[in-house]
Structure 1
Amino acid sequence: MNTDVVLAAMSAVEMREGFADGSLSPVEVHDAVQVIIEAREPVLNAFWRRDAESSRTQAKASEKRWTQGEPLGPIDGVPVTLKENIARAGVPMPSGTAGVIPTVPERDSPITERVVQSGGVVLGSTVMPDWGMLSSGVSSLHGITRSPWDPSLTTGGSSAGAGAAAAAGYGPLHVGTDIGGSIRLPGTWLGLTTLKPSLGRVPLDSPYPGRSAGPLCRSADDVALLMSIIAGFDPRDWTALPPADIAWNDLRFDPRGLKVGLQVDAGCGLPVDDEVRATVEHAATVFRDAGAMVDPLEPFISPTMLDELDTFWRVRSWHDYHRLSSEQKLKVLPFIVQWVHGGADVPGARVLECYQTIMTMQHATVAATERFDLVLSPVAPMMAFAAEWPMPFGTADLGMAHIGFTAPYNMSGQPAASVNAGFSQDGRAIGVQISGRRFDDLGVVRAARWFEHHRPEAARPNWPIHSSEQETNR
């Protein structure tokens, strides 16, 4: 196999071990990853801003530290990408839309600071769709981001660039954000292991109800490693959880005796595809056969809850859109323009009703799942769709009919991971969502790692990492 591919396909854990024993150089890894990026980026379109010269300088500094036996931290020398809405000092933040004058932050976000302080080699900022309100890689500013598995298919979104970068081998560690599924949706459609952490576990510059930041990786080991860096208290996030001593390096897990819920009907939104349902049910069988007590979990949110969450988000985005000049409005993605107009004339009392419904969803999610250690479900009711579609239903306006399984855990603040559980007959990845009790991020990552090692052999991704322009399917 091509040496560049071998190095780019390594996990962060493997890279760190190689750096420590001197068998691997951060510069060697960086240059190999750049070969992959140069070959694939013209098609995949994962980056908003990338500076290979700057990142190579970072890699050379890391190489010197390792040679001197003085690494800054556990990810010193490991390539990392950050979603464009994660502030990097001096790097414009357009939120995926051509309709705004981008904010240029003067200071790194808490996440960026921690990655840099640990020696991570920041390759650049990855793209997102307009305002992060699409579950695809379609953006008025960036164009279309495509799946490394098959460029005709979506990456999912809104952490579209992060997902594409992870699956394609642009380094092993990638940080995205998630307000209703934006980490886990790329996870399921790209075969990744991801984590939407508990609300407040990873500090943000601008917290918002339901919003989290977390890892998109090719393994749970790397998810845990990245969480050990980016999790923790920061006073800039007024929702941040207090400091906690979490043993991210201890991923031992025994499913025997655990209470596991199996939910295959969200109670709202689009119906679940038969192959998705069968894959998730088989994942539950893997836990059951290992001694877990698996019981069905009936739907606990309603179509009204999902519709009113959608209305609340439309009003918020309408507020952003309405403030733009006439010229700027013409640059926003037409699908988003249509969607935000659904929030144009919503009375204040109605907005408050929607907010109260979100609180009802939060209560319903915690109450329904409290008796389980873990809950298994689909991530999305469908598999990856056409890359050109802004949503899984094309250009139709069906609101948020695809996030009935993911959004509840954003509202409740519970941790939820995605792990590849199989492939469809035509080769598309299908993930299972593993959610846990509030604040049990480590338990969820442990379960994800255990499942990675016990899932069927056919469910293990053969990552589409290569250094030529020839696109390959699984």
Structure 2
Amino acid sequence: MNALLKLTIRDILDLYEQRKLSPSEYWQAVEGRIDAFEPHVQALYLYDPEDARRQAAASTERWARGETLGVLDGIPVTIKELIATRGQPVPLGTAAVDLVPAAEDAPVAARLREDGAVIFAKTTCPDYGMLSSGLSSFHPLSRNPWVLSQNPGGSSAGAAAAGAAGFGPLHIGTDIGGSVRLPAGWTGLFGFKPSQGRIPVDPYYVGRCAGPMTRCVEDAAISMATLSRPDWRDGTSLPPNDFDWLDRSLDLKDMRIGVMMDAGVGLAAEPEVVDAVTAAARLFEAAGAQVVPVAPVLTRDMLDGLDNFWRARFWGDIEKMPKEKRALILPYIYAWAEGGAHVSGVDAVRGFNQTMEMRKAASKLFAMVDAVISPTNPVVSYPADWASPTNDPARPFEHIGFTVPWNMSEQPAASINCGFSQSGMPIGLQIVGPRYADLLVLKLSQAYEEWSGGVRNWPEPPHAR
């Protein structure tokens, strides 16, 4: 069973094709892993093994007939609970939301279903997806499989925990300021935030993207053929792409790569993080790239303006809630949101305008470089029950300095493991490409994974250690 859990999507599909493994047999291995590890990491919501068995059996029959639906037919997948699935509630991570079944699948869920993926669970997130943590007023506390006392990050907390724990090869998160990349960095996964509109989302929100979280780059690349199909419900949805997501051709000799070690604002990168990213930069240089230091794009005015805009927008969403409902929101989130009551309309617009300043600064930087590498997270780790690395609602976004600019500039960015701390925690390297150069980010990530060898020894359930 353990050997099956180490397979990549390509491995699994090859075995399906050769009739050496069926989707039902593979699902049984994943189900056993969930039974062993889920009580410790608490990554899943609406987990339904009986329905997963039914889906896997249907896929097994399709493979036997040679009538598969798509490239992910029979591949177990989780979806972050913020992404609607037909007939199931979307609690948004909070006890304050009424549990009303969704009328239809959001674009990501629809594409996965069309291709025959086995959607076996949703994954946990904090209240309204507004924390980099597994802390929630609705879900149990999600934990990092590497060290259970530590935080998996967020807001795609459950997706990260599920991926690192081995609950199948593919987990879909969402990212508005780093919520795919941050937890991927803290759990050793590859997390990909594509260009705005590359993976359609509904509802749309400024900077909000969906993206795959996987144990290797190729698994994410394979999933993009499915996830990137357009959907009219997202007004930013891009036209169908005509490129091969698995194309690995890359010539680094004429490439200029910027190394950003200072986010410009917020928490400074810890020494172990700096050392790991510096070592990664040397590998790009050894491969022929011109590696140059670059200044940050983010400023205090930009981050504080975004904070004001997010607070005002969120307060507008909840201020008309009955008081007894508002009282159910995680206190940390509510304390942060209350600040929005004092943001004027003019100040909220000024805050939003700072997203345009981020875009301009990013555009200026990418006029000089072909890609940027940086730390994903400034800190190695923090306790599981903290709401963020600062655990301070007055300083809620001090850890997103390396990640949030690329949401607002709509550029593709990924996090890939680049080593481990002395305490045994993963460290993430962020790779950023120009707008719409999603394939370049995947190629650079694939090259780095081949140089580094990737993560070889993933966490095991406590009783199996």
TM-score normalised by the chain length of structure 1:
0.96
1:330 is aligned to: 327
Question: Quick check: 2:415–2:428 contact (8 Å CA) kept in 1?
Answer: yes
2:2 is aligned to: 5
Task: Pick one of 458, 464, 470 that aligns with 2:459.
Answer: 464
1:345 is aligned to: 342
2:84 is aligned to: 87
2:202 is aligned to: 205
2:134 corresponds to 1:141? no
2:308 corresponds to 1:315? no
Matched residue of 1:444: which SS? helix
2:149 corresponds to 1:157? no
Alignment of 1:95-114 (within 5 A): 95-114=92-111
2:248 corresponds to 1:255? no
Provide, for residues 200-245 of structure 1, a one-character-per-residue CA deviation record: whole Å limited to 9, x for no partner. 0001111111000010000000010111110022111111112221
Structure 1 residue ranges (4+ consecutive) displaced by more than 6 angstroms after TM superposition: none
Per mean C-alpha deviation after superposition, the further-off stretch among 11-20 and 175-184 is: 11-20
Question: Quick check: 1:144–1:388 contact (8 Å CA) kept in 2?
Answer: yes
Query: How far is the alpha carbon of 1:251 from its aligned partner?
Result: 2.2
- Alpha-carbon distance between aligned partners in 2 of 1:461 and 1:370, rounded to the nearest angstrom: 37
2:33 is aligned to: 36
The unaligned stretches of length 5 or more in structure 2 are none
Per mean C-alpha deviation after superposition, the further-off stretch among 391-400 and 29-38 is: 391-400
- Alpha-carbon distance between aligned partners in 2 of 1:443 and 1:403, rounded to the nearest angstrom: 23
Provide, for residues 178-204 of structure 1, a one-character-per-residue CA deviation record: whole Å limited to 9, x for no partner. 000000011110001110000000011
Matched residue of 1:155: which SS? coil
Question: Quick check: 1:389–1:395 contact (8 Å CA) kept in 2?
Answer: no
**Matched residue type, 1:229:** T
Provide, for residues 290-342 of structure 1, a one-character-per-residue CA deviation record: whole Å limited to 9, x for no partner. 10010111122211111111111111121222122111112110101111011
2:424 is aligned to: 427
Task: Pick one of 367, 370, 382 that aligns with 1:370.
Answer: 367
Alignment of 1:188-267 (within 5 A): 188-267=185-264
TM-score normalised by the chain length of structure 2:
0.98
1:295 is aligned to: 292
Query: How far is the alpha carbon of 1:470 from its aligned partner?
Result: 2.1
Task: Pick one of 418, 434, 438 that aligns with 2:435.
Answer: 438
Question: Quick check: 1:261–1:294 contact (8 Å CA) kept in 2?
Answer: yes
Query: How far is the alpha carbon of 1:249 from its aligned partner?
Result: 2.1
Provide, for residues 3-31 of structure 1, a one-character-per-residue CA deviation record: whole Å limited to 9, x for no partner. x2221221111111110111111101101
**Matched residue type, 1:183:** V
Matched residue of 1:123: which SS? strand
Per mean C-alpha deviation after superposition, the further-off stretch among 244-253 and 419-428 is: 244-253
The unaligned stretches of length 5 or more in structure 1 are none
**Matched residue type, 1:175:** I
Question: Quick check: 1:9–1:171 contact (8 Å CA) kept in 2?
Answer: no
Cα RMSD for the two superposed structures: 1.2
Matched residue of 1:50: which SS? coil
Query: How far is the alpha carbon of 1:370 from its aligned partner?
Result: 2.9
- Alpha-carbon distance between aligned partners in 2 of 1:321 and 1:120, rounded to the nearest angstrom: 35
**Matched residue type, 1:463:** W
Matched residue of 1:73: which SS? coil
Question: Quick check: 2:111–2:229 contact (8 Å CA) kept in 1?
Answer: no
Query: How far is the alpha carbon of 1:362 from its aligned partner?
Result: 1.3
Question: Quick check: 1:166–1:218 contact (8 Å CA) kept in 2?
Answer: yes
- Alpha-carbon distance between aligned partners in 1 of 2:60 and 2:150, rounded to the nearest angstrom: 38
Matched residue of 2:185: which SS? helix
Matched residue of 1:144: which SS? coil
**Matched residue type, 2:382:** F
Task: Pick one of 426, 445, 449 that aligns with 1:448.
Answer: 445
- Alpha-carbon distance between aligned partners in 2 of 1:143 and 1:317, rounded to the nearest angstrom: 23
Matched residue of 1:228: which SS? helix
Task: Pick one of 177, 181, 187 that aligns with 2:184.
Answer: 187
- Alpha-carbon distance between aligned partners in 2 of 1:43 and 1:345, rounded to the nearest angstrom: 41
- Alpha-carbon distance between aligned partners in 2 of 1:426 and 1:127, rounded to the nearest angstrom: 26
**Matched residue type, 1:264:** M
- Alpha-carbon distance between aligned partners in 2 of 1:461 and 1:101, rounded to the nearest angstrom: 42
Question: Quick check: 2:333–2:393 contact (8 Å CA) kept in 1?
Answer: no
Query: How far is the alpha carbon of 1:79 from its aligned partner?
Result: 0.5
- Alpha-carbon distance between aligned partners in 1 of 2:73 and 2:355, rounded to the nearest angstrom: 41
- Alpha-carbon distance between aligned partners in 1 of 2:159 and 2:83, rounded to the nearest angstrom: 12
Provide, for residues 393-429 of structure 1, a one-character-per-residue CA deviation record: whole Å limited to 9, x for no partner. 1245313111011000000000000000010111110
Question: Quick check: 1:195–1:416 contact (8 Å CA) kept in 2?
Answer: yes
Task: Pick one of 253, 258, 272 that aligns with 1:275.
Answer: 272
